[in-house]
Each structure stands twice: as structure tokens, then as C-alpha cells.
């Protein structure tokens, strides 16, 4: 099984990296023991919102109840030994990362800070106390916690941040939106996830909270905005098709994706079911096909090919390459 997992990891890197732009310069540095991101000094408790480059993060950022340009949220803090660290929760991933490994590698990264004076010092002390009592790496990941019980242990990135700020006696970074009437989109996504996906807040909720102020938003200069526009069209088109009554295929289409779903489909998380993994890799595979054709046109047309052109073309290409994606 270990060899199968290793092979699956190689296939994943091939599938994902083969259609991902080369990440650009990292605007993070440590100067005199202080972490600096895009020219701004970071403080304990700063909320780091980001969007990875890919179809799944784009779906989160554009088609959650609080859509925005971000799909994930984390908290910055200095570890006991002084290391600049990012604390976050995500499915199947590390809960703690050195800031230099996390900041600047996403398509878009923003830093938001609580407006209350003394908030960084307060959060810093509370974060250290919390880490001393809890093993963050053992926290279970559940995509959809109970929105009525924010004082319970956190399960995903949003409730994790919320619990930290509640524990420190500061305002909540966001409020979970109330349940909405089910739509075709919500029902279809809920076939793959145990809970109603439409109730999930995106990291954009942090940005919309008046208790927080934007410190800086950094856009990766190596990610072509025309490619981002194409990815937006890709996810918008899939949303439109689902709202029109089509159903996603519950199994992975290609061999590499099927192998990944079989190897990593069952773990200690609620989200990573084989069906959810299949949806993830089907999305990645279909987008890679659209991206290749879009890239050829961008290369041929040069600067005359605008972001508006990219959005329109990618929408048309998506419809062509969705064959086999839906049942």
C-alpha cells in the first residue's frame, strides 16, 4: 500500500504541476527577527487569506455564500522558538508550516489585522497558551462544523480562526451565514460531501468583517491574469451546467485520478471520500485540457489577446472538454 501511495503522489504531482504556472518571487523575508511580507511587518494573530492556483480553490472563492478572491484562511504567529509560523487546517495537510514555505506561493495572498489596539499582543499570548495545551496536528478536519457552536473545537480553517479569536476575547473574524434554500448547485455538491456545501464560508468573509483591516494583498506576478480569467470562466461554466440540471460523475475519469482516489479516498477526514477525490481530480484533469488550448491561443495572439477574450474562449472550451465529466 505504501508503494501505491508513493506512485499516487508522483501521479498527483504530474497531474497538478503539469498545468500550474511557475510560481514567482516570494515577497517574504525575516529582518532583525521580524517577519516581513510584501514590505509590511507581520504580527501575531494576523489572518492570512489566500487562493491557490487551481479549479477547486476558484470554486471556493467564487461560489461560496461569501464569494471573494480568497479560498483559504490561516493565522500567523511566532512559534516558541521565534520562528515565523502559519497555523491552519486543511484536508489531509500539515497544520503548522514555516511562513517562508507558505507565504507568496499562492496566486493571491492577503493579510488582515484586527483593528483593536493591543490585539496582536493579546493573540500572541493566547496562541502560545493554546499551542501548549493542544496538539494542532491531531485536530480532526471536518468540512462542515455546526455553525451554532463556535465554542467547540475547530474543524476547518474558518472555525479554527474563529475559535482562536473567541478564546482570546476578541471579536469574531466572521459569522457563519445562515442556511439557504437548497439549489441544484448545493444538492449536487452535497452528493460528494456529507454536509451542505453551500453553507461553507470562503475566506472572503474575513475580509468583509469591519473588525479587520487589510494590511496588504499580494498578487503573484508570474500568474498571467488571462489564465486567471480563463479559470474563472471554467468554474463559472461548470456552476451554470449544474444549475441547468446536469450531474457530476462520481468516479474519476482517468487512470491516474482513479488510482489517487483509491489510495487516498479513505482517511480520518469527512471530506476526502473517494467521490470527493474523484470530483477534485476530474476538475483538475478537465481544466488542464482547457488550459493547454487556451495557452496556445495566448502564445499565438500575444498581448492582443485580452482577459475578456480569455474568459470568453475558456467558457467555450470548457463546454467542449466537459464530455465525460458529467454523467
Could you tell me the CATH number of the domain that includes residue 130? 3.90.1720.10
Residue 234 scores a pLDDT above 90: yes
Instruction: Please indicate, yes or no, if residue 66 is contained in any of the structural domains.
Output: yes
Last residue in a domain, options 193, 219, 245: 219
> For residues 187-226, b (16+ Cβ closer than 10 Å) or e, as one string?
ebbbebbebebbbbbbbbbbbebebbeebeebbbeebbeb
Count of domains forming the chain:
2
pLDDT digits (tens, 9 = 90+) for 256-270: 777 766 665 555 455
Q: Rounded to an integer, what distance in angstroms lies between the CA atom of residue 38 and that of residue 27?
A: 5
The whole-angstrom separation of Cα 157 and Cα 216 is: 20
Residues 200 and 119 in one domain: yes
Within a domain: residue 14? no
Co-location of 313 and 210 in the same domain: no
In 169-290, the DSSP E strands lie at 212-219
Residue 78 is predicted with a pLDDT of 95
**Which pLDDT belongs to residue 151?**
54
Q: Are 123 and 145 contained in the same domain?
A: yes
Task: Tell me the pLDDT tens digit for each residue of 72-99.
Answer: 899 999 998 999 999 988 766 678 899 9
Q: How do residues 15-65 score in pLDDT, each as one tens digit?
A: 444 444 445 567 999 999 999 999 999 999 999 999 988 998 898 889 887
Cell (9 digits) for 15: 497531474
Whether residue 202 is found in the same domain as residue 126:
yes
Q: What backbone torsions phi and psi does residue 63 show, to the nearest 5 degrees?
A: -130, 30
Query: Does residue 144 register a pLDDT over 80?
Result: no
Same-domain pairing of 263 and 144:
no
The CA-atom distances, in angstroms, between 314 and each of 16, 67, 295 are: 19, 21, 10
More confident residue, 231 or 173: 231
Residue 6, in any domain of the structure: no
Say yes or no: 67 and 198 in one domain: yes
For all residues of the chain together, what is the average pLDDT?
82
Residue that is written with C-alpha cell 508522483 in the block:
10
- The answer as to whether 257 is a domain residue is yes
Backbone phi, then psi, for 61, in 5-degree steps?
-75, -30
Task: Note whether 186 and 93 are same-domain residues.
Answer: yes
Residue 73 per-residue DSSP state: E
Could you tell me if residue 114 is inside a domain? yes
pLDDT higher than threshold 70 for residue 142: no
- In angstroms, rounded to a whole number, what is the distance separating the alpha carbons of residues 251 and 143? 20
The domain of 254 spans 225-321
State the pLDDT at residue 244. Answer: 93
Same structural domain, 267 and 187: no
CA atoms within 13 A on the CB side of 306: 2
Q: Nearest Cα to 253, choosing from 291, 287, 227, 295?
A: 287
**For residue 242, how far is the Cα from the chain centroid?**
21
Say how far apart CA 211 and CA 150 lie, in whole Å.
18
124 pLDDT above the threshold of 50? yes
Q: Which of 1-5, 68-72, 213-217, 241-245 has the lowest mean pLDDT?
A: 1-5
The residue out of 219, 251, 283 marking a domain boundary is 219
As beta bridge partners, residue 77 has 85
Give me the sheet containing 84-87, strands edge to edge: 96-98, 84-87, 72-78, 47-51, 108-114, 212-219
Q: Give the pairing of strands 96-98 and 108-114.
A: unpaired
| Least confident segment among 207-211, 259-263, 306-310 | 259-263
Q: Are both 53 and 104 inside the same structural domain? A: yes
Q: Is the pLDDT of residue 175 over 60?
A: yes
Q: Is residue 8 part of a domain?
A: no
Amino acid at each position: 500500500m505504501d508503494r501505491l501511495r508513493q506512485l499516487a503522489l508522483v501521479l498527483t504531482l504530474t497531474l497538478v504541476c503539469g498545468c500550474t504556472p511557475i510560481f514567482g518571487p516570494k515577497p517574504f523575508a525575516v529582518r532583525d527577527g521580524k517577519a516581513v511580507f510584501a514590505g509590511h511587518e507581520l504580527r501575531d494573530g494576523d489572518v492570512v487569506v489566500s487562493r491557490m492556483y487551481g479549479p477547486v480553490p476558484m470554486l471556493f472563492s467564487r461560489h461560496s455564500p461569501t464569494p471573494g478572491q480568497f479560498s483559504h484562511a490561516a493565522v500567523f504567529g511566532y512559534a516558541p522558538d521565534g520562528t515565523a509560523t502559519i497555523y491552519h487546517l486543511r484536508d489531509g495537510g500539515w497544520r503548522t508550516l514555516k511562513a517562508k514555505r507558505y507565504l507568496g506561493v499562492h496566486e493571491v495572498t492577503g493579510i488582515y489585522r484586527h483593528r483593536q489596539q493591543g490585539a496582536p499582543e493579546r493573540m500572541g499570548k493566547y496562541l502560545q497558551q493554546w499551542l501548549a495545551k493542544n496538539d494542532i496536528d491531531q485536530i480532526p478536519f471536518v468540512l462542515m462544523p455546526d455553525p451554532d457552536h463556535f465554542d467547540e473545537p475547530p474543524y476547518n480553517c474558518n472555525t479554527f480562526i474563529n475559535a482562536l479569536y473567541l478564546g482570546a476575547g476578541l471579536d469574531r473574524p466572521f459569522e457563519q451565514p445562515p442556511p439557504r434554500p437548497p439549489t441544484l448547485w448545493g444538492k449536487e455538491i452535497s452528493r460528494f460531501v456529507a454536509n451542505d456545501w453551500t453553507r461553507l464560508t470562503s475566506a472572503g468573509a474575513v475580509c468583509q468583517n469591519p473588525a479587520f483591516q487589510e494590511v496588504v494583498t499580494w498578487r503573484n506576478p508570474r500568474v498571467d491574469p488571462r489564465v486567471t480569467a480563463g479559470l474563472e470562466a471554467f468554474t463559472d461554466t461548470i456552476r451554470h451546467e449544474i444549475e441547468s440540471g446536469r450531474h457530476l460523475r462520481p468516479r474519476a475519469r482517468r487512470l491516474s485520478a482513479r488510482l489517487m482516489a483509491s489510495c487516498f479516498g479513505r482517511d480520518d477526514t469527512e471530506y476526502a471520500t473517494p467521490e470527493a477525490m474523484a470530483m477534485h481530480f476530474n476538475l483538475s484533469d478537465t481544466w488542464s485540457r482547457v488550459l493547454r488550448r487556451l495557452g496556445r491561443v495566448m502564445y499565438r495572439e500575444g498581448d492582443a489577446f485580452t482577459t475578456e477574450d480569455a474568459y470568453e474562449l475558456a467558457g467555450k472550451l470548457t463546454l467542449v472538454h466537459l464530455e465525460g465529466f458529467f454523467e
